[in-house]
Structure 1
Amino acid sequence: MDNKKIDLPQFTILVILITIGDSILVLPAIPAAIAKQDAWLSAILGLLIGLFVVYLLGTVGKLYPHLTLVEYNEKILGKWPGIFVSILFIFYPLLSVAAHVREIGDFTTTHIMTNTPVIMVNLLFVVIIVMGARLGIEVIARSGEIFFFFFTILFVVFVIALVPLIDLKNVQPILEGGIQPVIDGAFTVVAFPFMELVVFLMVLPYVNHQKKIRKSFLIGSLCGGLVLVIIISFTILILGYDLTQRSFYPTFALAKVIRIGDFLERIEVILAVMWILTTYYKITFYFYILNVALAQIVRIKEYKVLLYPMGMIITVLSIVISPNAAYFNDTISKYWPFYDSTFSVFLPLLLLIVAFIRKKHER
């Protein structure tokens, strides 16, 4: 297995990048379709609830800080029930990686290389994912430190360029449909960035200073969540909820309206770079977790032998997982949050309850 270690700042930056992930581009459309002009309230509520989810995950991680999720599944639930739960768990990063690779392919063939087959874009992206995962968690985290600096600069420039375009009329009237649409919209905001952080339970043993991990986990998710709150709020304030909900990539549409004088316009490339950067780290991290988890389940000492066959599986699965972008976006927004909650809420609660019962019984 990967015996390298990462420091707390590297861990925090990794949490920020993966919290933002692909959500910076596609997330605003989902709460906008549910809560309409109150989507910004859904974003804030989703952030607050999401921090409780992250706290729950951090609490589970403290049960056995030197074991991964797969290892303490067996320790808490027993050997065979633990293996069964772990097998179910590996389908989570497997489907997530395939879905995100398809998302990359759809966006690229729609807005950048329109005449390129989506399978070729997916294949090329899978190649660099395999390369990144092969280098291990330490290299992923350290390179994340470098690219996070560039991401921060690009994000600040992006926000500053958008501020003059804000129109407060787009968020009025507030709570026109009541509080229920805001709550429903918040559920999706919780699911996509925050519940997906459950995969970090596989790398907590590789982080130095175990006692401060939960704090770093919360700080990272808070910072990443604030970025998404800003993005969702700006799409509503500038585009309005109607245009936001009808767009597959609302943040990209937001970047297209930026125009400062006669010399600075069409800077959507900034948004594209930020999105590809954070999405790459998210997919690579998920792919790394997938192979490490599978290696631990089948008792293989070196996870790297699984990378190439798993890369081929991901390439094929990214094509068959959805016939087109419209079906993909509709399915994800409706059903994926429930899939997220299965592994990010119910599984951690199950582990906490069973661990509590076992410790009480041992006493």
Structure 2
Amino acid sequence: MDKLERINSVQMTMLFLFFMTGSSIVIIPAPLTNVAGNGGWIALLIALAMGMLLLACVLYLFRRFPEQSMIEYSQLLIGRAATALLFIPFTCVMFWHVAGIVIEIGLFFKSTMLKETPTYAVNSLLFATIALTVRAGIEAIARMVAVLLVLMFGFIILVCVLVGNLYHPEYLLPLMPEGIGPVLNAAYIAYGFPYSELVAFAMILPCVWTKDKPSVSKHLFLGLAINGATLILSIVCSIMVLGPLSGDLKYSLYQLSRLIFIQEIIERIESVIGFSLIVGFYFKASILLHILMRTVTQLLGLKDERILVFPVSFVCLLLSITTYTNEASMEELVNLTWPLINNLAYVGPLLLMTGVALFRRRMAK
């Protein structure tokens, strides 16, 4: 790892918040309320608890191997050959993951603000910006994140406050009109996206300065709690305003912003809100591409990860404009297939290495 690529624990936590909240705040409320109805926020709580368990595994391995990434300590635990076999699916899914985030940005643009703009034009511009951001390095990304994180969360809270006159708390009842089954189904969706994805973040945790490593665990757990609270807030607000329609209208937070009307002074602010939400998409895609570059570099044994930024970005661009351009196919992927893929490619290797590390530690005593 490049010794210059170091950030403090607060910056890492802000990156983690963008990683977990960036796209999920726009996408996740609608499918959860569509499947679980008023119990969507309960499903999110269940998924958040599962995410906490995964984060605990990630941080346990980080404490055991504070200077090694996920691939590096995997090589120590199970050997180079087994690591290569284990991380080939991980890397392939990362390519689809980066492309998928940009596909979602394109679909968001197409269905809200830029309805006549070709998808390939939006995706190409986004990937050019994302690639240049990643080439600047994680330090530059971390320096950008503070202001834009405040912008994104500030607008989320602003929307929830400004639609306060439209709240109908009675829409929150009954909590589980169809029983626990739909809630568990919705929890499965939220677990697959975004909580199982946090495993990939283990690739960049060693970038934290050595003096800040002891505080990383509590900061990341705090970040995950803030993420859960924000998603629950967006789900509850959507239900209280939109009622039964909250599960049928995509991009719930954007739909709420369209309803803001205060004395003919504040109205039609959805474009501003939309662009602030796109900041979240952009940062998540940038962080994912940086993780992908680090993964490919370490698997191939290269010294400079930045030489592959543009070729890898071009491959992801091709994937984004040739696959899942249909909204129905993308929705099916996120709701059904993606949790299973993430379990096999992300969670499986994490649990295997956690088990091996615990076994070796026990045998060493």
| TM tier relative to shorter chain | over 0.9
Kindly state the Cα deviation for residue 44 of structure 1 after the two structures are TM-superposed.
2.7
- Pairing 1:2–2:2 present: yes
Cα 1:2–1:274, aligned 2, differ >3 Å: closer, same or farther?
farther
Q: Give the 3-state SS of the residue equivalent to 1:5 in structure 2.
A: coil
**One-letter amino acid of the structure 2 residue matched with residue 133 of structure 1:** V
Q: Which residue of structure 2 aligns with residue 334 of structure 1?
A: 336
Normalised to the residue count of structure 1, the TM-score between the two structures is 0.95
**8 Å Cα contact 2:103-2:325 kept in structure 1:** no
**One-letter amino acid of the structure 1 residue matched with residue 343 of structure 2:** S
**8 Å Cα contact 2:69-2:205 kept in structure 1:** yes
**225-234 or 146-155: bigger deviation:** 146-155
* C-alpha separation in 1, matches of 2:146 and 2:106: 26
* C-alpha separation in 2, matches of 1:326 and 1:47: 26
Kindly state the Cα deviation for residue 83 of structure 1 after the two structures are TM-superposed.
1.4
Aligned residues: 362
Which one of 284, 298, 301 corresponds to residue 300 of structure 2? 298
Please report the RMSD computed on the Cα atoms of aligned residues, expressed in angstroms.
1.7
Kindly state the Cα deviation for residue 252 of structure 1 after the two structures are TM-superposed.
1.7
* C-alpha separation in 2, matches of 1:297 and 1:342: 19
**8 Å Cα contact 1:32-1:245 kept in structure 2:** yes
Percent of pairs with identical residues: 27
Deviation track 1:140-177 (CA, whole Å, cap 9, x = no partner) reads 11110121222233223222102221112222222222
5 Å-filtered alignment, 1:1-363, equals 1-3=1-3, 4-208=5-209, 209-241=212-244, 243-362=245-364
Unaligned runs of 5+ in 1: none
Kindly state the Cα deviation for residue 206 of structure 1 after the two structures are TM-superposed.
0.7
**8 Å Cα contact 1:73-1:86 kept in structure 2:** no
Kindly state the Cα deviation for residue 103 of structure 1 after the two structures are TM-superposed.
1.1
Kindly state the Cα deviation for residue 181 of structure 1 after the two structures are TM-superposed.
2.0
* C-alpha separation in 2, matches of 1:50 and 1:307: 30
Normalised to the residue count of structure 2, the TM-score between the two structures is 0.94
Deviation track 1:298-332 (CA, whole Å, cap 9, x = no partner) reads 11100011011111101100012214122212221
**8 Å Cα contact 1:158-1:270 kept in structure 2:** no
* C-alpha separation in 1, matches of 2:255 and 2:353: 43
Q: Give the 3-state SS of the residue equivalent to 1:220 in structure 2.
A: helix
Q: Give the 3-state SS of the residue equivalent to 2:290 in structure 1.
A: helix
**8 Å Cα contact 2:74-2:83 kept in structure 1:** yes
**8 Å Cα contact 2:257-2:270 kept in structure 1:** yes
Kindly state the Cα deviation for residue 7 of structure 1 after the two structures are TM-superposed.
0.6
**338-347 or 177-186: bigger deviation:** 338-347
**8 Å Cα contact 1:166-1:238 kept in structure 2:** yes
Q: Give the 3-state SS of the residue equivalent to 1:235 in structure 2.
A: helix
